[in-house]
A and B are shown apart, each in its own frame.
Chain A
């Protein structure tokens, strides 16, 4: 039976390590916030109709999803809602169905032994 002190010491180390790990992991991820902002400025251009659609949708969602959007113009949240509910749902659903059909066909190929890449080893 371990004595109480060593149990407490282990518990303390565990808690401290938990906290340290949690916090440092967050730091690495939060660096991305800065790079997303920088990349938006450098690479986000309305060069083609497709890129323009992406840019407009992203901008409207960004402004419509934060309190300042509603403060500037009450229609922004509604526009963001509409983008999320209609074209976004349609696009995401097409992707979801596409992935589902692809996964099922890949699984069938594996089960039937047609696909053997996972057994290839190295």
Chain B
């Protein structure tokens, strides 16, 4: 069955656009790895220190940015002290933007309740150095203030002073680097959020307990949005995701039916 690829392109575009304009409102149910992550964060005591690393760039923004917002909502709602950083240059910009969007809603003050350390190049080496001394690795925050003079960083020397680390990862440096150093070397509680492309490979870390929870792609972000009761762009996109997946499955089925019917015809001859 020969179908012009432009017809397929048109169908895909419609499968995405129509549900965005007229949402079906299908319920989004949290999966186990996302629920686990939520529970771990929920069980932390008030005032815990959480480190969020924004290790992604613009090409994965639609998946990881909603995740960043949902996590920040949860952290601020639980009155945690939030420390953000980035191992990808653009990650620092996204962290600043996300903090600006969420912190105010909870009346949080920069320096008192949260701090943004900014970007540092070096990946694995940076994480390794942070395990020894965070203020020496990041002497200044994103705005150029001395980290030692920022109240929220009082008493934060290294990973031992952090209660939970969460990595928003789009590749390398990302979750594997954090697993190796923060979890492997320093036995820190580590959670991860990643692009859907890389999610399957991290299930091995999840089963082994090296990751306590995992948010995979826009769907993972939507599930977390539902859990923290802050529906955003990820949840809004789930109907379009459903329709596009259904269309692709339909196309695969049609192609295979045609393939087998042709094969049977040949065999009969």
Contact = CB atoms under 8 A, between A and B. Distances in A.
Q: Check whether chain A touches chain B (CB < 8 angstroms).
A: yes
Interface of A: 18, 21-23, 25-26, 29, 33-34, 36-38, 40-42, 44-46, 55, 59, 62-63, 65-71, 77, 81, 84-85, 88-89, 92-93, 95-96
B9 A38 contact: yes
B26 A67 contact: yes
A70 B29 CA distance: 8
Interface stretch (B47-55, B68-76, B246-254): B246-254
Interface string B40-78: 000000000000000001110110000000000000000
B267 to A, nearest CB: 14
Contact of B251 (A40, A45, A66, A88): A40
B12 A33 contact: yes
B181 to A, nearest CB: 15
A78 B94 CA distance: 34
Given A21-B58, A22-B61, A84 B27 contact: no
Given A26-B62, A66-B219, A42 B255 contact: yes
B220 to A, nearest CB: 10
B187 interface: no
B255 A84 contact: no
Contact of A66 (B3, B241, B260): B241
A67 B58 contact: no
A34 B29 CA distance: 27
Contacts, number: 117
Report the 4 A-B pairs with minimum CB-CB distance, sorted nearest first: A68-B242, A67-B26, A22-B58, A41-B251
B interface, size bucket: 35 or more
B151 interface: no
A44 B61 contact: no
B146 to A, nearest CB: 21
A63 B255 CA distance: 17
Contact of B27 (A38, A59, A70): A70
Given A40-B248, A68-B243, A68-B245, A29 B59 contact: yes
A96 B208 CA distance: 12
B18 interface: no
A25 B58 contact: yes
B245 A63 contact: yes
A18 B260 CA distance: 50
Contacts of B251: 37, 40-41
Nearest to B29: A70
A62 to B, nearest CB: 5
Interface string B93-116: 100000000000000000000000
Given A21-B58, A41-B255, A95 B201 contact: yes
A96 B29 CA distance: 30
B203 interface: yes
Given A33-B244, A62-B248, A89-B207, 9 more contacts: A37-B248, A41-B251, A46-B256, A55-B256, A62-B245, A63-B249, A67-B29, A69-B242, A95-B201
Contact of A85 (B93, B207, B243): B207
